[in-house]
Chains A and B, each alone.
Chain A
Amino acid sequence: MNPATNQISKEKARLDTIARHIQPKAEKPKLVTSTCISMSNENIVKPGIRSIPRKREEVLKLHGWGYNDSQFKMNEKGVITFTGSKYKLSGMVMPQLRPWMTETIGIEVDETSESIKNIDLSKIPKPIVNEEFTNELSKTGMEISTDPMDRLVRSHGHTLEELFLLRKGETNKRIPDMIVFPRNHDDVVKLVALAVRYNICLIPIGGGTTVTLALVCPENEERCIATVDMTQMNQILWVDEKNLLARIEAGIIGQDLERDLAAIGLCTGHEPDSMEFSSLGGWVATRASGMKKNVYGNIEDLLVHVRMVTPRGVLEKNCMVPRMSAGPDLHQFILGSEGTLGIITEVTLRVRPLPECQRYGSIVFPNFARGVECLREVALNRCAPASIRLMDNQQFRFGQALKPESEGIFSSFIDGMKKFYVTKIKGYDPANMCVATLLFEGDPTVVAQQEKAVYEIAAKYQGMPAGEDNGQRGYMLTFVIAYLRDIGFDYEVVSESFETSVPWDRVTDLCRNVKDRIHHECINQGVRYPVMSTCRVTQTYDAGACVYFYLAFKYRGLADPVKSYLAVENAARDEILANGGSISHHHGVGKLRKQYMSRTVTDAAVGTIKSVKEYLDPRNIFGSGNLV
């Protein structure tokens, strides 16, 4: 083939790929599916359009997860449906879900706990205003708001205790006194300078999806708290295809970023489960991790350059290079700073051409331990697909319960598997069976090689391929699972997820011990109903894995459900640390896990973090109180 035609055909292939990614309506090629996993076809927003408006509450729930229109709900027939139109699951009925919830956590149709409909804004704490600061600030032309609703919706993240409070129509004693909306880097520089001059407490907020109490205002903060809403800084400033870089404003929301890049045939590949709502700045500030990190890397791998405005000035590198040896890497202080050192304004990320091929897959294992061994070997051989996740038996069964009535891709797991290996299924005990879901992405030949390698390894551990549909369904559920907590709340169930990272040799033990600990602690707390504690391995590395736990129990009969829940989560975290796990793989520390910092690193290390803070922000302008 001559080079010119080769070039042309490549170009055409690329255009095809782009078309696929931005026009999901187009006929789907057989084994390839859209990257915009969460959006159903009709509701795709045109490139350049921002999915979350300045008034978040117009689209997002006040006291729950995600879009207003989307929720699990019991219909008149007592069957659970998923409402709205945003997701593939939208409008579907899941007949097995309620029986499953009754059996595994003990919900009853008539034992409910409804959330209040509207929050009484007159009860919102009065703001502490600093007139001079407000005056000076308004001169810069930045939007400022003291509207109670604006303040309320930016006063929290998504931990259980925050939502429990909101559902009762209550707020913390202290919420932001004002919200500032900077438009660009220079606005932020001016803002920080004024905050220093008038001794204002600043708390940056991106998508507000934090699950560590990172956005909670310290109760004893007497200064005016200005929460800095970054989401109006949402442009891709430039794209450098030669070096495969893009400079992006920190307030951009994940789905908008990917959509805009897709329009020009690129992607970052960073897909945290919260990507529909979380922001680039938030990712950097919490050291986020995306589902496809095996191909694209975690946020720290993607980050090439970053600007952070601190009370000392702008912290950044003066070059934009793939790597450098110039003392300790300053980026590492910005990554994971959790809003305590300054405001991240602009981030330069590595970008990649959109993958030509995407394939799903799934493997069943006779038990969890075998699955872990398989994942370890896959990691060892560096043939891990973009994503590989291993669910334990309970999650596997939970996945079954989510099966909608309609046919198609949602046909039950066993059905899907039977299509493949009707006969071989014998010998797999449904009470121990586990499933791994796979997402391959990239060049078709590479994908084919990876598939072969992974299934070969799996066979060594009695892992049996269980079809593409099962895999795809698993990933599709990723984005709706977060909605389940809200229906749990409706039926007196508190639930939460938390995660850790751990060396390979400890994974299985840690999972088992933590689940045991949860059960024992729930008994201690007087929980009267069956407890759901389940886990999955969501990320693999050479040296270990990330494990994600889900915990849910019905709190009827407990005096203080939140307190009991926290006792259980703390017990679980204690067990995690004792088992050689970390304080967090990607959620961060915030205020929720601050108490564990001294167990996680030595005093000298805590001192180092403090001294950097002391230098950059001696007056504690960034006073959210996270981390240490």
Chain B
Amino acid sequence: MTKRNRMKVLYNKQILPDYYKLGISWKDSPDIEPGQFVMLRLTGRIDPLLRRPFGIYKILGQGIEILYRVVGKGTRLMTDLKSGGTVDVLGPLGNNFPVDKHYKEIIMVAGGIGIVPFYTLVEKLKVKGSRSRLLFGGRGKDDLPGLEDFKKLGIDISISTDDGSVGKKGFVTKLLKKELSKNGDYVIYACGSKGMLKEVARITDEADAPCYVSLDQAMACGIGACLGCAIKVRGARLEVRGKDLKNIPEKYETSNLKPQTSNFYKMVCKDGPVFDAKEIAWEEI
């Protein structure tokens, strides 16, 4: 059940020059699935006007932890939050990474702040006994937020940075290419910039490997009402590698028209933020 509530700030601490962790008290928090997000508002403020979407990084005993990167007005104001203050939270919202099907190995590809959905995912998968491997890329050593947390989880981690300050020099997608050259029973989960995700989708498609991506789009409502966070997906008849995508736009549920063959829009907040990479019309993004 989705909730909206005013919640207490437990802590707000800087972990890297551009990254903060915000702990929020959430008594009787609902079940949260890996990949879900909340819409956050600074209590009482109408400037910035709209709520901002943030993934749920960690589930605490009686709350959640947000990991955020300072990019603009809203996130800059968030850095002033103090323990004891409040924020307005709407959530949890959206779908989640599919964890029902069992794969021997899970390969997570994260770019910078794209690390967020993976902490709860690893925790969940550990219970299920899958081996997980993190490919983590950033611009430099200060762009790998949460790396210490993942080290503690004891999973395999490979790092790349654009400037070569840590790990391999280059894009994280280069690491992925190498991984996929080995055969195996794996699934790829990715979160990061659209450019990175597009490349991940291309590589995994070539390797015919299952891949899910978590997308980021500007949002206003977060609940599927404003139709603001649209993303182009492929129509039903565009079968990809023999698999029917079952992408049927709402209008054809009732009419006896033929299923639509052209691409159409889905909403990142409600139909996503996690999508099968084959579903996205990458050429239009």
Q: Do A and B come from one complex?
A: no
Binding site for A on B (CB under 8 A): none
